[in-house]
Amino acid sequence: MEYYASAVTDVGTSKENNQDSVCIRIANTKNCGQVVMAVVCDGMGGLSKGELASATLIRAFVSWFEHVLPKRLRFCTLEELSEEVRGVLGEENRRILEFGRRIHANIGTTCSALLVVGNRYAIIHVGDTRIYALTDLESRIRQLTEDQTYVAREVRLGNLTPEQAKTHAKRSVLLQCIGASRAVEPQIAFGEVHRGTLFLLCSDGFRHVLDEGEMYDGYFSIKPGDKRQLRKTSKKLVELVKKRGERDNISVAVVQCADGSVSWWEKVRMGGRSREKETRKAKGMIEVEGMGRVSRQVSNVDPEQTAELPFQELQEPEELKILQSITMIHTEEVI
C-alpha cells in the first residue's frame, strides 16, 4: 500500500492561541511495507494550557512511532500495537494530570489517532475530535469515532434527538479527556483499507459548521496520490469554516491510500508466522487462538537457570524510512 497525507491547522477567527496539535508520519519499512500514524489533538479551550496538553501528547506519539514501533512492528498484531497506544494514552494522562496538580490548573486534550499497517487500520480515540473514512465502496463519508460528550451519550440513550443536541447547553461537555480524567477508556476499533480510501481526522472546530456532505464533496474526487490537491481542498474547507463564523481552532488531517499492493497481513504475518511461533515456544509463550492474546505456558524449567529477556528484544527492530513527516504544535513549553 502507498499512502499520501496533508494537514492544515488554523487559529480561527477569535482565539489568541491555537490549542490544536497535529502529527502525521508515513514510513517505509523493509518487511512491512508502508506504515502510517496520524493524530489530531484538541487542547481544551476552557482549561489552562490546552496547547501544552495537546503538544505533550503529540510528542509522545512521535516518540513511540520513531523509537518503539520499529521494535514491535514485525512481530505484533495490530491489536497488540493498539494496546501499546492505549498504554501511551494512560501514561500521558497520568503525567499531564500530575503536572496540572503541581501548577494548580486544569489541563487536558482530546485525541483521535489513526494507525495503518498494510491493509488494516486501527483508531484509538478519546473526546470529540473525529475520524471519518471515504471509500470507493461507499458513496458517503462514514464517521468511525464516537463522540465522548454528554449530548452524544444522551442521543445514543434516546434521551435527546440529534437536532436537540446541536443547541443543548451541555453540547461541549466532555465525558473524558487526556489529562483531566483520573483514568481514560479510549474507543478502539479496526477495519480494512482499500485503494482510494481517504481518512479525515479533525478537531470539532472543523466540523461544527461543515456537514458531512460538504466534506464528501470536497474530497471524494481527488485522484489517489495527489498531495497538492489534498492540501488545497483542506485549505479551502478551512476558509469556508472561518467565513461561516466558527470561533474555535480549526484542524484537519487527511491520509489517502493510493495503491493496493500485497497486504502486510499476507506478506509478514502469514510468511513469518512459523518463525514467530518458534520464538514464542522457546520463550514459554503460547497464543490463544481467536483472542489475539499471549499467555504464559506452565514450565518445569527452573527460572533461575534461564536468561529471561523481553520477547521483543529477541527480534531485529524494523528499519523505518520516514517518507512524510508533519508536526504542528503551538508551544515550546514541555512538561
- Pure H helices in 126-226: 150-157, 162-167, 204-207, 212-219
From the number of C-beta atoms within 10 Å of its C-beta (0-12, 13-18, 19+), residue 52 rates as buried
Grid cell locating 224: 489517489
Q: Indicate whether 228 pLDDT > 80.
A: yes
Q: Indicate whether 274 pLDDT > 60.
A: no
- Cα 234 to Cα 222, 226, 321, distances in angstroms: 11, 13, 26
CA–CA distance, 53 with 123 (Å, rounded to integer): 20
As a whole number, mean pLDDT of residues 172-179 equals 93
Query: Domain spanning 2-265+317-328 has what CATH number?
Result: 3.60.40.10
Share the mean pLDDT of the chain: 85
Q: Specify the pLDDT at position 315.
A: 61
Q: Indicate whether 115 pLDDT > 50.
A: yes
Confidence band of 224 (pLDDT split at 50, 70, 90): confident
pTM for the structure as a whole:
0.82
> From start to end of 13-84, where are the E strands?
20-29, 33-42
Q: Specify the pLDDT at position 138.
A: 78
CA–CA distance, 228 with 209 (Å, rounded to integer): 25
Q: Indicate whether 69 pLDDT > 80.
A: yes
Of 220, 249, 252, nearest to 235 by C-alpha is 252
> Reduced to 3 states, what is the DSSP secondary structure of residue 66?
helix
289: Cβ–Cβ under 8 A, 6 or more apart, which residues?
Answer: none
> Reduced to 3 states, what is the DSSP secondary structure of residue 49?
coil
Provide the residue count of the chain: 335
Q: Indicate whether 5 pLDDT > 50.
A: yes
Q: pLDDT tens across 118-149, in order?
A: 899 999 999 999 999 998 777 889 999 999 99
Q: Enumerate the β-bridge partners of residue 187.
A: 125
Of 13, 6, 26, nearest to 232 by C-alpha is 6
Q: What is the secondary structure of 252-309 as a DSSP string? A: EEEEEEEE--S-HIIIIIITTHHHHHHHHHHTTEEEETTTTEEEEPP--S-GGGS---
CA–CA distance, 306 with 324 (Å, rounded to integer): 43
Of 40, 37, 1, 45, nearest to 19 by C-alpha is 45
Q: How many CB atoms lie within 10 A of CB 169?
A: 8
CA–CA distance, 258 with 256 (Å, rounded to integer): 6
What are the sequence ranges of the domains in the chain?
2-265+317-328
Residues of the chain by 3-state class (helix, strand, coil), percent to 5: 35, 30, 35
Confidence band of 207 (pLDDT split at 50, 70, 90): very high
From the number of C-beta atoms within 10 Å of its C-beta (0-12, 13-18, 19+), residue 107 rates as buried
Q: pLDDT tens across 73-93, in order?
A: 988 999 999 999 999 999 999
CA–CA distance, 109 with 121 (Å, rounded to integer): 23
- Pure H helices in 158-211: 162-167, 204-207
CA–CA distance, 242 with 159 (Å, rounded to integer): 32
CA–CA distance, 153 with 173 (Å, rounded to integer): 11
Q: Which residue has the higher pLDDT, 38 or 118?
A: 38
How distant is the alpha carbon of residue 287 from its chain centre?
27
Q: Specify the pLDDT at position 26.
A: 98
